Amino acid sequence: MLISDLLNLIQLKYVKDGRIKTERYGSLETRKIYSNLMVDYKEYASLLLPLQLHEFYEECENFCNKVKEKKEKEKQKEKMEKRSKVISSVNLGAELESDVDLLMQNLIPISDLFTGDTTFFDTSTNSVLDIDPNVYLAKNKELYPNIKDLISASMTGVKVFMPLDSRPIVKKEMGGYDINHFNTHRAPKWINETPSDSSECPELILKVFKNVFVDPDSFDYALSWIHHMIVSRNETHLCLVGPRGVGKTLVTRIMAHGVGTHYMAQADDSFLDEKFSSSEMEDKRLTVLEEVKVDTQKRVDKLKRIINLDVTVQAKGKDSKTIKNYTSFVIVNNHLNGMRIDPSERRFSIVEIGSRNLREVLTEEDFEILNSALDRTSFEEPHELITNFFHWLIYNFKPKYNNIAPFKKEYYYKIVWEGLETWKQELVNYFLETCSREDLKISDLRAYIKKKHGSDSTQRQFLSPKAIKAFLEDYQHRDECKVAELVTKRDSNRNYTYHIRPTIEFIDYARAQKALSGEPVPEEVEVDDSVLDFPDIDFDNIQEGDPDEEYEFEEEIGL
């Protein structure tokens, strides 16, 4: 800071009793000046006491130069031994090792403007540490006799999670002032390690990935997704849907080391049922939803919300708040029917998963090496396997896919189809099989399903025109065309009845699929629609459970 800025900012009035008196003593500006000078203000004031105001600039410069020279000499004289681990691998630095050297050359006290908490900035690692101030004071009584003196000498600013910015301290404008933003993100250690070989993917990790992602396109997409997860964030959920034992969870453990195991969160079903996103999402880079079923529209909508750049989170018993979202999401599911999403969704990427058990591919020795590498935290010395893999992925691998567009191949539509309720599948199947342009009565659909599945069932569900209409409006088969629409038709008695009318595009698609598969294509039947009428029907006011057979369809098969 320039001396002229010092004078203008603190609005010096007079010096008395070894203390600088200002109009705004104790304010943000004053504390910032003291901390930037890195001197005790009493010593500073005692130096200025005998001086006249016109000598202020020159003496300030001299004093600051002396302080700087003194610190340079101390640095040259002393060679600091490498510090022991300052933080525990579990809670990011709440505990201190007994042999930690807590000298001022390493730790600078900082004060958070929002919370008032005092923490420390470690100049040796360029990181913010959540160290108990009382523990620090106990080891540094000669520097700061009490907590008040420690706070007075603290740098002021705000703690902010900025994982995409490598700078430890960033000055940003807030409320008209340039405020220190202390970056709380700590990069995993593999980033600063020198790999023994990063020219290609390590063979052991390659075996795991090729067993999980059997399709070459899925393999390339998964690696591209992990690459973007580290250097930015992904805007689609990576869905790993497949049988147990192929290595899906092992892949997520490897992913965690890419961003740091301390920045990975695991969530269960309750995560999707909460009103707001869990506070566990805050300051995270990867969230894994293990064995979570996406089986309702409410859950689908929640997943679409939490992947936005700004999300609302709420801790238990606290007010909700909006934060920047740096998280990429992985959904792991062993059941093919556990994803009830629409084919047109743009927030889900479903890669093809293999079926071979990983134990048929890897030896016991392979598993021991993997566990040795993955059981370490990101604050420990990284295993060579991890260092080599991520250096290859970041610096030598060229992503073939971006972080925005969803990945949709044949497997995606297979999972979407498996997630449909049975009556929806059979409604679509009817027109795929018959290729008929004729309208389908709800009662005829019921007979069609009974013929295929029988009437013995332990579950019964009533289906209303409202449900049929909602499905037909939202569903696009294989993301290509709508299947049908719900219409009304007058019978000979001038009464309205409901019919399902296929779209021309879907029937053309169905006929083309039969031709491609070599099946005989039924002859087209001319449909006379001259007797059809389309009154404005308020479907929202038709209640499910209406006993009228023309309005309700009783599904007699299990889901």
Domains along the chain with CATH numbers:
1-79 (no CATH), 82-186 (no CATH), 198-413 (3.40.50), 420-555 (no CATH)
Tokens of 206: 């390659």
The larger pLDDT score, comparing residue 463 to residue 543, is at: 463
Query: Which pLDDT score is estimated for 559?
Result: 27
Query: Which pLDDT score is estimated for 11?
Result: 40
Residue range 261-316, pLDDT digits in tens: 999 999 887 788 776 566 678 899 999 999 888 888 889 988 998 899 888 877 76
pLDDT surpasses 70 at 56: no
Query: Which pLDDT score is estimated for 323?
Result: 86
Alpha carbon 351 to its chain's center: 18
pLDDT surpasses 70 at 444: yes
Q: Which of 225, 241, 242 is nearest to 233 (CA)?
A: 225
Of the CA atoms within 13 Å of residue 172, those in its CB half-sphere come to: 13
The larger pLDDT score, comparing residue 526 to residue 122, is at: 122
pLDDT surpasses 60 at 460: no
Torsion of the alpha carbons at 121, 125, 129 and 131, rounded to the nearest 10: -90
- Mean pLDDT, to the nearest integer, of 458-475? 74
Query: Which pLDDT score is estimated for 535?
Result: 46
Rounded Cα gap, residues 21 and 24, in angstroms: 8
pLDDT surpasses 80 at 103: no
**Between the CA of residue 347 and those of 139, 229, 236, 237, what are the distances in Å?**
52, 15, 4, 6
The larger pLDDT score, comparing residue 89 to residue 107, is at: 107
At 189 the three-state DSSP class reads: helix
Lowest mean pLDDT among 22-26, 295-299, 498-502: 22-26
The larger pLDDT score, comparing residue 33 to residue 468, is at: 468
pLDDT surpasses 70 at 148: no
Average pLDDT, the chain: 77
Per-residue confidence band for 65, with pLDDT thresholds at 50, 70 and 90: confident
CA angle 268, 251, 363 (to 5 degrees): 125
pLDDT surpasses 50 at 217: yes
The larger pLDDT score, comparing residue 128 to residue 316, is at: 128
Q: Which of 20, 62, 27, 14 is nearest to 42 (CA)?
A: 20
Per-residue confidence band for 452, with pLDDT thresholds at 50, 70 and 90: confident
| φ, ψ at 460 (rounded to 5°) | -130, 140
Highest mean pLDDT of the ranges 1-10, 96-105, 144-153, 339-348: 339-348
Rounded Cα gap, residues 186 and 168, in angstroms: 9
Per-residue confidence band for 393, with pLDDT thresholds at 50, 70 and 90: very high
The larger pLDDT score, comparing residue 435 to residue 36, is at: 435
Query: Which pLDDT score is estimated for 279?
Result: 66
pLDDT surpasses 80 at 35: no
Per-residue confidence band for 114, with pLDDT thresholds at 50, 70 and 90: confident
Per DSSP, the residues of 215-263 read: SHHHHHHHHHHHHHHHHS--SSEEEEES-TTSSHHHHHHHHHHHH-GGG
Per-residue confidence band for 180, with pLDDT thresholds at 50, 70 and 90: confident
Q: Are 482 and 472 within 8 A, CB to CB?
A: yes
CB < 8 Å & 24+ apart, contacts of 485-492: 486/539, 487/439, 487/532, 487/534, 488/533, 488/534, 488/535, 488/537, 489/439, 489/531, 489/532, 489/533, 490/531, 490/533
Rounded Cα gap, residues 412 and 344, in angstroms: 11
pLDDT surpasses 90 at 431: yes
Lowest mean pLDDT among 96-110, 257-271, 304-318, 416-430: 96-110
pLDDT surpasses 80 at 376: yes
Tokens of 223: 């690696």
- Mean pLDDT, to the nearest integer, of 403-409? 95
Per-residue confidence band for 236, with pLDDT thresholds at 50, 70 and 90: very high
At 438 the three-state DSSP class reads: coil
